[in-house]
Amino acid sequence: MAVKPAKSGTRISRPRNSSPASPGLSIVVPVFNEAKGLAGLHERIAEVARYLQSKYGLAMEVVYVDDGSHDDTSRIAQSLPALPLDVQVVTLSRNFGKEAALLAGLEHARLGAVLFMDGDGQHPPTLIQTLVGHWLDDGYDVVYTAKAHRETEPRLRTLGVKAFYSLLNWRARQKIPEDAGDFRLLSPRAAAALRQMPERNRFFKGLSSWIGFRQIRVDYEPAQREHGTSTWNIWTLIGLSIEGLTSFSVAPLRVASLLGLLLAATALLFGGWILMETLLFGQDVPGYPSLVVSVMVIGGVQLIMIGVLGEYIGKLLSEAKARPVYFVAEHNIKRADTADTGKQPARESARARGGAARAAE
């Protein structure tokens, strides 16, 4: 396993309107149709929690965010034992997407540090010990993970990922680490900084890198899915890439501007060449074919530019409407406070009228 230190940033204080979180670690797990594997995942997380509590005396909780699952994910999550850590289950009113689920988990986390991981089992819970060690022992504020390699992935997907990060980081002041995933730990002050971000169109990987502080990379081998199949396909990945680019970067606008300059320069050179042929060599100016090709090229580029502008205008409209990112249908908390006395863990239940302080469609 390889670790790579990253650049540090400046300290950002907690917002005035937010109460300080209790010391400890909240593990946020967005889930969608993960009923079959959720109990096994929770058992592995509980084993790691026992180890961390014995080594560091760390207060811990796990926050399962059900993003509108169609199976029994919510019911199973609510039945999970609160031993040795508290269990929160936040059930959203519908499927709002992973970014909204991550925000819901961040806003419902009650302890200081926050760790995000997927609920499909591909993020190994045993790696949590390593991430916590870099936070508590080495003093890092953001400990993010990245795939050690992409040898098993299709060549086209690997090229697409490289192109995405190249465009995203092009002339950016704060670079987004390539291959970094959502599996990461934020220290209390890093989590507090992320809560200050007012965006409704969010790109979690970009925001958690942009906040700065001391960051370190941990390479790992993703595990195989134990149950079900992935809901991601080529089209959803393309959509996610467009969402990330337009939410976090102005690189597409810069590319559109450079493309316009390139076409203008090409047209100027072509016009000069035609003028030379006519005046010096007496050749006729090419007619219909060159005209049609020129019109089609210019028209295509203009439509692309209009589409790029439309994406950003759509983001502005979404931010201006200021709709909540998500709504909470049900919120359950099981506490492990009385577990050592042999009593049943306390349980709290709350039904929310509508959720989230910030965020969009």
- pLDDT mean across residues, the chain: 75
What's the 3-state SS for the chain? CCEEEECCCCCCCCCCCCCCCEEEEEEEEEECCCHHHHHHHHHHHHHHHHHHHHHHCCCEEEEEEECCCCCCHHHHHHHCCCCCCEEEEEEECCCCCHHHHHHHHHHHCCEEEEEECCCCCCCCHHHHHHHHHHHHCCCCCEEEEEECCCCCCCHHHHHHHHHHHHHHHCCCCCCCCCCEEEEEEECHHHHHHHHCCCCCCCCHHHHHHHCCCCEEEEEECCCCCCCCCCCCCHHHHHHHHHHHHHHHCCHHHHHHHHHHHHHHHHHHHHHHHHHHHHHHHCCCCCCHHHHHHHHHHHHHHHHHHHHHHHHHHHHHHHHHHCCCCCCEEEEEEECCCCHHHCCCCCEEEECCCCCCCCCCC
pLDDT at 311 over 80: no
pLDDT band at 27 (very low <50, low <70, confident <90, very high): very high
pLDDT at 8 over 70: no
Average pLDDT over residues 336-358: 47
What would the pLDDT profile of 234-293 be if each residue is shown by its tens digit?
666 666 667 767 666 677 777 777 777 787 777 777 777 777 777 776 666 666 566 766
